[in-house]
């Protein structure tokens, strides 16, 4: 059971984009309240932010944070979240049948981004609101002074403009569950007019138009074509959203979920390129994969409250991830990097508590889920250029995708450091595989010196259902792979079933 990777630094896909390692904070469940913000917590700072969560966010390597939704944004009145907190109204959140006290709003979010060192990615409400409200928010955030909303920001304690670069034109407007759901034609007109007007205030912003919320949507493909035909010249990116979970015990198909992500990206890129050719446009529209993760939608924790129960920060979508989930997350990152020529930005949904790599206890500890590790290590080590990787490997039979490669991988090469980083998964649910990587093409210097094996770590457990807890989030984490070795001009490493690995050469 041997697999081979063929890697050559001459064959590149494109640069490693730091925005690939973004995440997502929505006013949903305990993501904001008791997640990033808990003023009474022993480790809260002077602004009420949990410093333990800030530290873990930095360790995760998150580079951008999308906010404030998600489904939440389609009913959000951003003005409720500014000014003195004692004057802010509590509002019903129809998306998640909850209440929001608006103790965290635009200014708090931006302050948290600055403390954490992440780039903000703001979404505007195109569900219950429209062009004018988007313009007001942009004025509040990006205009220096001398106007109503810019001076209101200054009165609220922020003299300098935030200069937010990335803006999402609504969220999942193709979905019937969305407040203010629209047809493709209706949304295309609204998004285009909103984009046109926002650029009149700030022509340098980057705008993300809503694509499909799933490749399973009946309008997938036709939605993108209709929206981009109208909005092409006014936007920069089209969004893509996807979630995976193990259904009906079909572990093999779940482990191969990245096959679907590959298909999703290729299909959206092809549609955007069709509109480009048909419209005789010169610029290229890329993809913002600004929601992706493992999410067990069929579990009880994903069912919102009902009736007269409108709680603040209820326990919602708090999936506890296992080793197999982490392997799928690692494989999705491989897919995103492999498409770095078209995926310009991505956001793991979400950051804290809600389908998240970071979990918190109210008033207590914060800890890492299994999915934290492949994300953090990929974000830390992927640099330079993404390389095309030739994969020769045994196949696995899946019910959903047919025969798929048991091994999937991506590699990056940094010319400044002469380091090659390989990220690889064994998505075979039963069998270990020996991986061989010929490194002759990676030889450096005039004497053709072969690269050395710097490190090899693997995330695996004999019980792939193992989950981290606040009491134990370290016993199953990436560990040095003792099988990694050099044999002649090849790197050889054994990959156990259901595993994610990182191999560094230099």
- Which residues in the chain show pLDDT less than 50? none
Across the chain, which distance is largest between two alpha carbons, in Å?
75
Q: For tokens 């909850």, what's the residue?
A: 98
- Antiparallel, parallel or unpaired: β 119-124 and 64-67: parallel
Spatial neighbors of 131 by CB under 8 A, at least 6 apart, are: 190, 193, 194, 197
Tokens of 126: 């195109």
Q: How many residues does the chain have?
A: 506
> pLDDT per residue over 440-493, tens digit each?
888 765 567 889 999 999 999 999 999 999 999 999 999 999 999 999 999 999
pLDDT per residue as tens digits for the range 211-244: 999 999 999 999 999 999 999 999 999 999 999 9
SS3 449: strand
Cα 395 from chain centre: 28
The values of phi and psi at residue 276, to 5°, are -60, -45
How far apart CA 494 and CA 3 sit, in angstroms, is 10
Helix H or strand E segment including 385: strand 385-392
Topology of the domain covering 2-10+385-505: Immunoglobulin-like (2.60.40)
Cis status of the peptide bond prior to 68, with omega within 30 of 0: yes
Q: Read off the DSSP letter of residue 183.
A: -
Span(s) in the chain for CATH 3.20.20.80: 17-381
Domain with residues 17-381, CATH architecture: Alpha-Beta Barrel (3.20)
Q: Which residues are catalytic?
A: 172, 291
| 316 and 29 Cβ atoms separated by less than 8 Å | yes
Task: Say what the pTM is.
Answer: 0.97
User: Percent helix, strand and coil across the chain, each rounded to 5?
Assistant: 30, 30, 40
* Cβ atoms of 208 and 268 closer than 8 Å: no
| Adjacent-strand bridge partners of 359 | 367
Listing from the earlier edge strand, what are the strands of the sheet with 385-392? 479-480, 453-459, 499-505, 419-426, 407-414, 385-392, 2-15, 433-438, 490-495, 485-487
Please tell me the distance from the alpha carbon of residue 92 to that of residue 114, in angstroms, as a whole number: 29
The torsion defined by the Cα of 389, 392, 394 and 399, in degrees rounded to 10, comes to 50
- Rounded to an integer, what distance in angstroms lies between the CA atom of residue 183 and that of residue 223? 8
Dist. CA 148–CA 146, nearest whole Å:
7
* Predicted local distance difference test score (pLDDT) of residue 127: 98
Cis peptide before 102 (omega within 30 of 0): no
How do residues 185-203 score in pLDDT, each as one tens digit? Answer: 999 999 999 999 999 999 9
Whether a cis peptide bond, with omega within 30° of 0, leads into 350 is: yes
Distance of CA 432 to the CA centre of its chain: 29
Strand 479-480 with 395-398, pairing? unpaired
Boundaries of CATH 2.60.40.1180 in the chain?
2-10+385-505
pLDDT in tens, 428-448: 999 999 999 999 888 765 567
Beta strands in 20-159 (DSSP E): 22-24, 64-67, 91-93, 98-100, 119-124
Backbone angles phi, psi at 275, to 5 degrees: -65, -40
Contact 122, 208 (CB under 8 A): no
């Amino acid at each position: 059971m041997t697999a081979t990777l063929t890697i050559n630094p001459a064959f590149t896909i494109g640069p490693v984009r730091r925005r690939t390692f973004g995440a997502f904070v929505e006013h949903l469940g305990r993501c904001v309240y008791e997640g990033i913000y808990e003023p009474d917590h022993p480790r809260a700072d002077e602004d009420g932010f949990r410093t333990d969560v800030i530290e873990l966010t930095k360790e995760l390597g998150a580079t951008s944070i999308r906010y404030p939704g998600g489904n939440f944004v389609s009913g959000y009145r951003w003005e409720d979240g500014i000014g003195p907190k004692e004057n802010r109204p509590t509002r019903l959140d129809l998306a998640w049948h909850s209440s929001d006290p608006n103790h965290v709003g635009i200014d708090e979010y931006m302050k948290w981004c600055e403390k954490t060192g992440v780039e903000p990615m703001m979404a505007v409400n195109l569900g219950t609101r429209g062009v004018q409200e988007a313009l007001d928010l942009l004025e509040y955030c990006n205009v220096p002074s001398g106007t109503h909303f810019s001076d209101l920001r200054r009165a609220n304690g922020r003299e300098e403009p935030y200069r937010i670069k990335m803006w999402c034109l609504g969220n999942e407007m193709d979905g019937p569950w969305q407040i203010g759901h629209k047809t493709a034609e209706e949304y295309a007109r609204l998004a285009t007019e909103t984009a046109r007007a926002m650029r009149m205030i700030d022509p340098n912003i980057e705008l993300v138009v809503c694509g499909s919320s799933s490749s399973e949507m009946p309008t997938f493909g036709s939605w993108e074509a209709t929206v981009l035909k109208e909005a092409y010249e006014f936007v920069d990116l089209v969004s893509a959203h996807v979630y995976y979970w193990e259904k009906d015990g079909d572990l093999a198909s779940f482990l191969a979920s990245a096959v679907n992500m590959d298909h999703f990206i290729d299909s959206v890129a092809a549609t955007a390129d069709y509109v480009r050719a048909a419209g005789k446009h010169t610029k290229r529209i890329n993809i913002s994969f600004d929601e992706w993760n493992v999410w067990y939608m069929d579990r009880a924790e994903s069912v919102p409250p009902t009736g007269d129960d409108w709680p603040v920060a209820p326990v919602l979508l708090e999936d506890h991830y296992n080793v197999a989930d982490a392997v799928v997350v690692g494989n999705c990152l491989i897919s995103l990097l492999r498409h770095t020529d078209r995926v310009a930005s991505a956001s793991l949904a979400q950051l804290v508590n809600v389908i998240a790599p970071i979990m918190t206890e109210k008033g207590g500890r914060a800890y890492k889920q299994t999915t934290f590790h492949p994300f953090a290590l990929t974000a830390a080590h992927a640099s330079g250029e993404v390389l095309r990787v030739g994969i020769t490997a045994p196949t696995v039979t899946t019910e959903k995708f047919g025969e798929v490669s048991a091994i999937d991988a991506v590699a990056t090469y940094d010319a400044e450091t002469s380091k090659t980083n390989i990220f690889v998964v064994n998505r075979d649910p039963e069998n270990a595989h020996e991986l061989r990587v010929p490194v002759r093409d990676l030889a450096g210097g005039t004497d053709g010196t072969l690269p050395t094996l710097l490190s090899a770590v693997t995330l695996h457990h004999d019980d792939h259902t193992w989950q981290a807890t606040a009491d134990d989030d370290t016993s199953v984490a990436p560990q040095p792979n003792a099988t990694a070795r050099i044999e002649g001009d090849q790197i050889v490493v054994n990959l156990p079933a259901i595993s994610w690995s990182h191999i560094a050469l230099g």
